Chains A and B, each alone.
Chain A
Amino acid sequence: MAERPHTRGVGVRRPLLGITSVVGLFLLWCLLTITGVVDPARFPGPSDVWHAALQLSGPGYAGGTLFWQIWYSSRLVALGFLFAATTGVPLGVLMGVNPRAEAFINPTFLLVRPIPPLAWIPLAILWFGLGDIAKIFVIWFAAFVPALINSYTGVRTVDPTLIAAARVHGASRLQILFEVMVPGALPLVFTGLRLSLQASWTTLVAAELVGAFFGLGRVLIIAAQDIYPGMIAYAMAWVAVLGAAMTAALAVVEKRSMPWRTT
């Protein structure tokens, strides 16, 4: 596409546009709330959010301070995610390399898969009550599926030529598995883990919204009941930030574990 030289400003212009739009939106937000165009009881202004921030960081809200709520939520996500990763990835790999295992497990999987993870929440509550175990179970379920599917696909899409080369070198089945198939599947495995992590986080917030003792989701629902829009917005912001942070952290792990990748 035509590019005109002499637009040296291009490199600067682009982030500038982005920042301008963010700043513009912020100003619009202030304007709307200060002039009272939007109902302050339903739509928070910047000062409301600030007030909520102070409260949550300081004396706390809905049972704890910001740190406590984040810690509580993150702990559950971490546990659920780890269970899912340690069960989903190996099972996916197994199904990928062993057609009999795949054929056996497939029907169960096909039947269960269309049911959204969030739909398991009421059942989990019936089984385990309102405590942590129910949450971890649902998170595990939500994270398990993408991990499994992507590990399976990852193993199946390993270049057959590489496997042939390994066999030519006399590698045993186990060696092929660990030295060729697993590393070859890693990129997709990580895609699966990324989806798992996002699913974990989303599911946790949902579970906490439905019924919990602590956590960011609980903060959200209590704030809704108290009609405290500033706190709602503040908690939502933290949900977004933590989600992004976890994804970024995983990306770092991904990069480190695959030094041979250029992308």
Chain B
Amino acid sequence: MAHDLTLSANTRPRRWSAPLALWPYSLAGFVALFAFWFAVAHSGLMPARVLPGPDAVVAAFFRLIREPFAGFTLQQHLLSSTIRFAFGFLIAAAVGVPLGLLMGRFRWVDDIVSLVFEALRFVAPIAWVPFAALWFGTGIGGPILIIFSGAFPPCVINAYRGARLVEPRLIEAAQTLGASQWRIITEILIPGAVPAIIAGLRIGAGLGWQSLIGAELIVVSSGIGYVIVQGQSNLATPIVMAGMVAIGIVGFVIDVLLRAFEHWVLRKRSGA
């Protein structure tokens, strides 16, 4: 059994991939989860209101696609959410990444912005909801504000780190070759910081999506978060769970897309 220990210790850390010989365990885990769920749901131990079975959830999911609930169909709600997310995230990235880079490159920018940034950063994005409601009502501005406050810090922080981690030698080499400040930023700093920037974008997207859901629990009248809150008020648990599944899927897809983007950028960057 000590053999096991060295086996896992000697392999490089792989995130969430089990070697081929272990797939029976994965399958077993997968099956066990659904079997357990199904059994408990239909055993009568818990009322259907509390724990609907997987079949009920799937049914609710497709029903939401066919019939409107709380004003719109599932697709329409999802579209609403996605648009808000896109706006909020893109604004956060467009403002955050350049700011982070500038802070990393020029100490004085860092000095000026840092204190204020650190103070605001610790305000949980969700805490902006009351102001969002006050300032924007149920308009799109509210969710965008909240998404922004969730996605903005990682974009800034990672761009900052990326800029700082660019080898000073490279910047010096560029200086000795006669590069202007602008050229240094565009041809040295940004390419050098790209991996960190993209990592920041991925984290920012994750946090932004989460913040969106939080916002949609409260200050909106459409969207997937709205769906699950309405489902809860109506005691329609299958709808709540179906909504959660939809949220999970979209979040997953966003991450996959960003990973692909990361892959593409890194390949273009060093032709490997």
In the complex, are there CB atoms of A and B closer than 8 Å?
A: yes
Cβ–Cβ contact B116 & A116, under 8 A: no
Q: Is B133 an interface residue (CB 8 A)?
A: yes
Cβ–Cβ contact A14 & B107, under 8 A: yes
Given A18-B112, A100-B22, A127-B50, CB of A122 within 8 Å of CB of B29? no
Given A106-B26, A122-B228, CB of A232 within 8 Å of CB of B131? yes
Q: Is A96 an interface residue (CB 8 A)?
A: yes
Q: Is A105 an interface residue (CB 8 A)?
A: yes
Measured CB to CB, the closest approach of chain B to A90, in angstroms, equals 16
Measured CB to CB, the closest approach of chain A to B8, in angstroms, equals 5
Measured CB to CB, the closest approach of chain A to B172, in angstroms, equals 7
Cβ–Cβ contact B232 & A123, under 8 A: yes
Measured CB to CB, the closest approach of chain B to A236, in angstroms, equals 5
Q: Is B152 an interface residue (CB 8 A)?
A: no
- The size of the chain A interface, using a CB distance under 8 A, is 80
Cβ–Cβ contact B122 & A102, under 8 A: no
Query: How far is it, in angstroms, between the C-alpha of A171 and the C-alpha of B50 when the chains are bound?
Result: 49
Given A120-B244, A206-B217, CB of A126 within 8 Å of CB of B127? no
Cβ–Cβ contact B217 & A121, under 8 A: yes
Chain A residue with minimal CB distance to B241?
Answer: A123
Measured CB to CB, the closest approach of chain A to B199, in angstroms, equals 15
Q: Is A252 an interface residue (CB 8 A)?
A: no
**Dominant secondary structure of chain A at its interface with chain B:** helix
Cβ–Cβ contact B126 & A209, under 8 A: yes
- The size of the chain B interface, using a CB distance under 8 A, is 79
Contact flags (1/0) for A115-135 with B, using CB distance below 8 Å? 111111111011100000000
| Listed stretches A47-55, A239-247, A254-262; interface member | A239-247
Q: Is A249 an interface residue (CB 8 A)?
A: no
Cβ–Cβ contact B130 & A99, under 8 A: no
Residues in B neighbouring A21, C-beta threshold 8 A = 111-113, 115-116
Cβ–Cβ contact B49 & A126, under 8 A: yes
Query: How far is it, in angstroms, between the C-alpha of A229 and the C-alpha of B213 when the chains are bound?
Result: 23
Cβ–Cβ contact B251 & A116, under 8 A: yes
Given A21-B115, A205-B126, CB of A115 within 8 Å of CB of B217? no
Query: How far is it, in angstroms, between the C-alpha of A42 and the C-alpha of B49 when the chains are bound?
Result: 40
Given A21-B113, A100-B25, A105-B29, CB of A119 within 8 Å of CB of B213? yes
Query: How far is it, in angstroms, between the C-alpha of A206 and the C-alpha of B146 when the chains are bound?
Result: 12
Residues in A neighbouring B29, C-beta threshold 8 A = 103-108
Cβ–Cβ contact B218 & A99, under 8 A: no
Q: Is A111 an interface residue (CB 8 A)?
A: yes
Given A25-B116, A99-B8, CB of A167 within 8 Å of CB of B2? yes
Cβ–Cβ contact B115 & A123, under 8 A: no
Cβ–Cβ contact A103 & B25, under 8 A: yes
Query: How far is it, in angstroms, between the C-alpha of A99 and the C-alpha of B9 when the chains are bound?
Result: 10
Residues in A neighbouring B172, C-beta threshold 8 A = 1
Residues in B neighbouring A118, C-beta threshold 8 A = 126, 210, 213-214, 217
Residues in A neighbouring B22, C-beta threshold 8 A = 99-100, 102-103
Query: How far is it, in angstroms, between the C-alpha of A113 and the C-alpha of B13 when the chains are bound?
Result: 19
Cβ–Cβ contact A156 & B126, under 8 A: no
Cβ–Cβ contact A122 & B127, under 8 A: no
Query: How far is it, in angstroms, between the C-alpha of A210 and the C-alpha of B216 when the chains are bound?
Result: 10
Query: How far is it, in angstroms, between the C-alpha of A153 and the C-alpha of B15 when the chains are bound?
Result: 8
Given A115-B244, A210-B217, A236-B127, CB of A163 within 8 Å of CB of B49? no
Give the one of B217, B249, B251 with max A CB within 10 A: B217
Given A121-B217, A126-B232, CB of A232 within 8 Å of CB of B134? yes
Measured CB to CB, the closest approach of chain B to A11, in angstroms, equals 12
Q: Which of A103, A111, A157, A223 contacts B13 (CB 8 A)?
A: A157
Known pairs A21-B112, A103-B25, A244-B122; list 11 more (Cβ under 8 Å). Answer: A104-B32, A108-B33, A118-B126, A123-B232, A123-B240, A156-B13, A157-B13, A160-B9, A209-B129, A209-B218, A224-B131
Q: Which residues of A contact B (CB under 8 A)?
A: 1-2, 13-15, 17-22, 25, 42-43, 96-100, 102-123, 125-127, 153, 156-158, 160, 163-164, 167, 172-173, 176-177, 181, 201-202, 205-206, 209-210, 217, 220-221, 223-224, 227, 229, 232, 235-237, 239-241, 243-244, 247
Q: Which residues of B contact A (CB under 8 A)?
A: 1-2, 4-11, 13-16, 18-19, 22-23, 25-30, 32-33, 49-50, 107-108, 111-116, 119-120, 122-131, 133-135, 168, 171-172, 175, 209-210, 213-214, 217-218, 225, 228-229, 231-232, 235, 237, 240-241, 243-245, 247-249, 251-252, 255
Sample (17) of A-B pairs whose CB atoms are under 8 Å apart: A1-B168, A42-B135, A98-B4, A100-B22, A102-B22, A106-B26, A115-B245, A116-B251, A126-B237, A173-B5, A181-B9, A205-B124, A210-B229, A232-B134, A236-B130, A240-B123, A244-B122
